[in-house]
Chains A and B, each alone.
Chain A
Amino acid sequence: MTDSPDNKSTTEDSASGHSDAPGAEFIDQFVATQRRVYLFILAQVGNPDLAEEVLQNTNVVIWSKWNNFEPGTNYIAWVYRIASFEVMKYRQKNKRSKVYFDDEFIKTVAKSVEQISEKSEARRLALSKCIDKLKPADRALIQQRYEPGVNGKSLAEKLGRPVNSVYQSLGRIRRVLLECVERELAAVTR
């Protein structure tokens, strides 16, 4: 990217508007951490749709509190704190949901997610390599499974396969992927 006039005016805009809109750095951090926050929430609530909802609520809070964030401090830690509260709030509201994890479990998991969260980018790159390495049929299956609005059951219906066999295949592919990711990461750090 070059220093075109357009770019300059942009940065000035965002600087002068500092009091009523977050700056570019904040937006970058916001965008770059969405995925990590999603993982953080999903590991605690277990259900992707709910995780999306909690993430949205978290985002609303982030944007209402952005001027409380002290630039230079740990952005992701700040966001995790907000997300933890949103998870808590969600859990309080939905104590009778179908599956309910206990508080201690949630705390344990949240802590471990924060720990592995730093390597998230490397893991993501490894994952995309590993998806390429899958057998074409497996790759197609897993891609279809994770299309928006699809789950194992609806996929089985679409393919005309017994639902349990689809569940088994998906579990196997996920485990293959996970092992592959671990291998890739080990290879990089070695």
Chain B
Amino acid sequence: MKEILQKHPRFLRLLDQLCEQTLDQDGADEISRIVKEDSAARDYYVRYLELHSSLHWDLAIPNTISTDEKNENQQPLQNDPRLKQLVESFIVEAALEPVNSSITTNDFAPSAQPPSSRKIIWRLATGLAFAVMVVGVWMLPRQNQQDQIVKQTTPETKIVAEKIVNNQTPGKNPESELPPKLPDIKWHQKREPVSTAGVDAKENKSQHDLISAPVLTDDNQVVAAINQRIKQGWTDQSISPSPVAEDHEWCRRVYLDLAGRIPTTTELERFLSDKRTERERRLVDRLLETPEFAMNWATRWTNLLVGRSPNERVDRLALLKYLRTSIAKNNPWSLVVSDLISANGNPKENGPANFLVAHLNNQAVPATAFVARTLLGTQIQCAQCHRHPFYETTQQQFWELNSFFKQAKIVSSSQMPAGMNKGQGTYLLTDQKIGGPTYYETRSGLMQVAYPRFNGHIVSDDKSVSRRQELAKLLVEGDDPLIAQSFVNRTWSHFFGYGFTLPIDDIGPHNPPSHPELFETLSRSFVASDYNIKRLVRWICLSKPYRLSSQSTPKNKQDTPQWGDPPAFAHMYFKPLSPEQLYNSLVEISGNYPRTTSEWIQHIDEREAWVLQFVDSLDNDENDESNHFQGTITQALMMMNGELIDQTISPDSNPLTAGLLNRSNSDLDKFEAVCLSILSRKPKPNEIVLFRKMIHQRRGLNNPAERKLLLAGQLEDAMWAYLNSSEFIINH
């Protein structure tokens, strides 16, 4: 120990910090470093932690010290009713776990959220377990003997038992068994029957095969199909949906989802006072035709396609403009996909070119992965180097798709011929006239060739053939291609927070969707509508599940997809506001929302800069990035102290507060106006109580100027509090 102390004077203190849970990450890193480089320190660490755990285990469990005297009366272990109960509870729970032993041997049961009752039973039982352990040494030889006898005398039982075991799970020893043959993934146009994985899928399999998903062409029919299929899911799982959301909740939801911001008080009141039938349909239809919807949709897809991080070659705004125009013109999604895949030219002028310009680095590996994940909804990035762990996407297939991008090249201004050079810092996306296969290295170091091939179609590798144009054609072929499935799944998840598959970009036979028939109906109908984006959005927004409250009820509590179960859409899921939605909403509350085109351009510029503070580029092979926006400290600090918040709530810059101060309505109405403008609802009784208290504080002041000043401060405080509530930063 002394030697360890000399070498690492802080080590012991760090260990104590670990035991007392006051260790920080730097300390953890230091422990890790010391333990890894010094074997004596490693032994000490392990012994110290063993001591710590023993003290926990032994002293934390009462009545363990005096059990020795009771040895004589100990019952055999398995006969103790409490232990029996414990074992049974574990077995029951184990049976409830969606274990799937037939997929891979490594696929142990996913850990469920531990119900609190389990903890209690477990606590109780460990006390017992320890008591048993103290005497266990004494008892063990005898127990073993008895077991031996049992084994010898009842061989038949054992064989029968083993047979049953073998029937239940292929192979009885997880270590020695090879995983079963995995389904082959194709870039398929026809879906494969749901055949593997998932207890639910097995149970419902026969149903799935019998019902063929109809292609629907009438909007009402599609909405009815959504309602019916989702309802069927509730019945199958014996859960009941939450009640319908309050009108103001739904109104806020649909504004955030379609217009990308919360509604103004006027817009909210217009909807609430509309008592005619089909007012939801009218609002959705109206919003779909606004420039804000186009902008919101284009923003979402710009982020998905090129990320938020700045890239000197990428002109995000050009891509945004292209997408905005596409949706405003109601261009089909298939056309957008073709444009993205086959675009050429200067990304500043030709918006869709930015997609590949952003990802062509590193032998187009990110481009291959991005096309597969973002447009085809399949994750093949790992197949770049090795066989896919869950389905048979081979390295060969990865490089075959990659081979389509072999001709694509980004030419910088210095490499351009004089006539085409548009000055420093410009780039061009071009196709080189080259042919031949792509070469790649297998894990064993062998060089292999891959020819451009997708979904069984081989494209000529002649240099005169533009491979990207060929790929664009192949992607949109068929009546249910992957680009449709992927787009439907993503769009659905934009509105519900969850798609039909978890994760949304991992579609395939290994990952059965939560509502297979509905998913298929939607994507086929979407194709039949000629990839009409607005119609797809309309179907979803007018469906009953989208109208439900976000509050779960005791009868649908288990519908909690963040635990990993397939979503049942029995209530609306919480969606955190995106940085862009939040920015738009704050600007709207502050009364500075853009009205004219030039104001919009400035608004987008400022928003891009503001959003960047939350984005980190991960700088990995797949050009991923993370955003620090989902309830992180950066976000919380911004919401509490950010400049934008100051601007939003200050009466000096916010016309709403300024107007309220000078209006002659009652003080309570003023607070109500604040609440309506931020949370789109009237204040709750407990909030009114608080407001009354605040109003009361001003009674003593006789000077009107002082009263006004205090009121201004109080309105500002109320706004600040509402903006910092989780109700505000969540779309619910």
A interface with B by C-beta (< 8 Å):
1, 6-7, 10-12, 14-16, 18-19, 21-25, 27-28, 31-32, 34-35, 38-39, 42-43, 46-48, 51-54, 56-57, 59-65, 67-68, 70, 78, 81-82, 85-86, 89-90, 98-102, 104-105, 108-109, 112-113, 116, 120-121, 123-124, 127-128, 142-143, 145-148, 151-153, 167, 170-171, 174-175, 177-179, 181-182
B74 to chain A, nearest CB (A): 7
Measured in the bound complex, the distance between the Cα atoms of B78 and A151 in whole Å is: 34
B132's nearest neighbour on chain A, judged by CB, is A31
Measured in the bound complex, the distance between the Cα atoms of B17 and A46 in whole Å is: 10
Partner of A31 from B46, B49, B95, B136 at Cβ < 8 Å: B136
* B49 lies within 8 A of A43 (CB): yes
Residues of the A chain whose Cβ atoms lie less than 8 Å from the Cβ of B91: 21, 63-64
CB pairs A–B below 8 angstroms (24 shown)? A1-B74, A15-B150, A18-B158, A19-B160, A24-B76, A24-B78, A35-B57, A42-B49, A42-B53, A53-B114, A61-B108, A62-B90, A63-B91, A65-B94, A70-B173, A81-B175, A98-B25, A104-B32, A108-B42, A121-B137, A151-B21, A167-B22, A170-B20, A171-B16
B147 contacts partner chain A, Cβ-Cβ < 8 Å: yes
B150's nearest neighbour on chain A, judged by CB, is A15
B168 to chain A, nearest CB (A): 8
B154 contacts partner chain A, Cβ-Cβ < 8 Å: yes
Residues of the B chain whose Cβ atoms lie less than 8 Å from the Cβ of A113: 46, 50
Interface residues of B in 229-248 (CB under 8 A from A): none
Interface residues of B in 117-156 (CB under 8 A from A): 118-119, 122-123, 126, 129-130, 132-133, 136-137, 139-140, 142-144, 146-147, 149-150, 153-154
A67's nearest neighbour on chain B, judged by CB, is B165
Residues of the A chain whose Cβ atoms lie less than 8 Å from the Cβ of B1: 175, 179
B22 to chain A, nearest CB (A): 8
* A60 lies within 8 A of B94 (CB): yes
Partner of B111 from A89, A147, A175, A182 at Cβ < 8 Å: A89
B interface with A by C-beta (< 8 Å):
1, 12-13, 15-16, 18-25, 27-29, 31-32, 35-36, 42-43, 45-61, 74, 76-79, 83, 87, 90-91, 93-95, 97, 99, 101, 106, 108-112, 114, 118-119, 122-123, 126, 129-130, 132-133, 136-137, 139-140, 142-144, 146-147, 149-150, 153-154, 157-158, 160-161, 164-165, 168-169, 172-175
Residues of the B chain whose Cβ atoms lie less than 8 Å from the Cβ of A68: 101, 169, 172-174
Partner of B20 from A31, A99, A102, A152 at Cβ < 8 Å: A152
Measured in the bound complex, the distance between the Cα atoms of B99 and A141 in whole Å is: 44
Partner of B109 from A38, A60, A120, A124 at Cβ < 8 Å: A60
Partner of A105 from B35, B43, B61, B133 at Cβ < 8 Å: B35
Measured in the bound complex, the distance between the Cα atoms of B246 and A92 in whole Å is: 38
Most buried by B among A21, A23, A68: A68
B205 to chain A, nearest CB (A): 22
* A28 lies within 8 A of B129 (CB): no
Partner of A21 from B31, B50, B87 at Cβ < 8 Å: B87
Partner of A65 from B45, B130, B136, B174 at Cβ < 8 Å: B174
Measured in the bound complex, the distance between the Cα atoms of B114 and A104 in whole Å is: 28
Residues of the A chain whose Cβ atoms lie less than 8 Å from the Cβ of B22: 167
Most buried by A among B15, B16, B78, B137: B78
Residues of the A chain whose Cβ atoms lie less than 8 Å from the Cβ of B78: 10, 14, 24, 27
Residues of the B chain whose Cβ atoms lie less than 8 Å from the Cβ of A116: 43, 46-47, 50
* B12 lies within 8 A of A43 (CB): no
B712 to chain A, nearest CB (A): 40
Measured in the bound complex, the distance between the Cα atoms of B150 and A19 in whole Å is: 14
Most buried by A among B45, B56, B157, B169: B56
* A109 lies within 8 A of B132 (CB): no
A22's nearest neighbour on chain B, judged by CB, is B87
* A174 lies within 8 A of B47 (CB): no
Most buried by A among B23, B35, B146, B158: B146
* B79 lies within 8 A of A109 (CB): no
A46 to chain B, nearest CB (A): 5
Residues of the B chain whose Cβ atoms lie less than 8 Å from the Cβ of A53: 114
Measured in the bound complex, the distance between the Cα atoms of B21 and A153 in whole Å is: 10
* A24 lies within 8 A of B143 (CB): yes
Q: Given the known A-B contacts A1-B142, A24-B76, A27-B78, are A61 and B28 also in contact in the complex, defined by CB atoms under 8 Å?
A: no
Residues of the B chain whose Cβ atoms lie less than 8 Å from the Cβ of A35: 53-54, 57, 130, 133
* A109 lies within 8 A of B172 (CB): no
A4 to chain B, nearest CB (A): 10
Enumerate the 3 nearest inter-chain pairs by beta-carbon distance, A residue then B residue, closest first: A64-B94, A63-B90, A146-B59
* A174 lies within 8 A of B52 (CB): yes
Q: Given the known A-B contacts A68-B169, A152-B20, A174-B51, are A43 and B46 also in contact in the complex, defined by CB atoms under 8 Å?
A: yes
Measured in the bound complex, the distance between the Cα atoms of B136 and A121 in whole Å is: 11
* B108 lies within 8 A of A85 (CB): yes
Residues of the A chain whose Cβ atoms lie less than 8 Å from the Cβ of B53: 35, 38-39, 42-43, 48, 51
Measured in the bound complex, the distance between the Cα atoms of B1 and A33 in whole Å is: 29
A106 to chain B, nearest CB (A): 9
Most buried by B among A39, A51, A128, A142: A39
Known: A27-B78, A60-B93, A116-B47. 12 other contacts (CB 8 A): A18-B157, A28-B136, A42-B52, A43-B50, A63-B90, A67-B165, A78-B175, A86-B111, A124-B54, A145-B55, A148-B60, A178-B48
B240 to chain A, nearest CB (A): 28
Residues of the B chain whose Cβ atoms lie less than 8 Å from the Cβ of A51: 53
* A89 lies within 8 A of B110 (CB): yes
Most buried by A among B35, B60, B165: B60
* B165 lies within 8 A of A11 (CB): no
Q: Given the known A-B contacts A16-B157, A68-B172, A142-B55, are A85 and B137 also in contact in the complex, defined by CB atoms under 8 Å?
A: no
A54's nearest neighbour on chain B, judged by CB, is B111
Measured in the bound complex, the distance between the Cα atoms of B46 and A90 in whole Å is: 20
B329 to chain A, nearest CB (A): 43
* A48 lies within 8 A of B56 (CB): yes
* B42 lies within 8 A of A109 (CB): yes
* B46 lies within 8 A of A171 (CB): no
B168's nearest neighbour on chain A, judged by CB, is A67
Partner of B119 from A16, A42, A56, A81 at Cβ < 8 Å: A56
B164's nearest neighbour on chain A, judged by CB, is A19
Residues of the B chain whose Cβ atoms lie less than 8 Å from the Cβ of A78: 175
A36 to chain B, nearest CB (A): 9
A143's nearest neighbour on chain B, judged by CB, is B59
B111's nearest neighbour on chain A, judged by CB, is A57
A122 to chain B, nearest CB (A): 11
* B165 lies within 8 A of A19 (CB): yes
Q: Given the known A-B contacts A19-B165, A28-B136, A39-B50, are A146 and B56 also in contact in the complex, defined by CB atoms under 8 Å?
A: yes
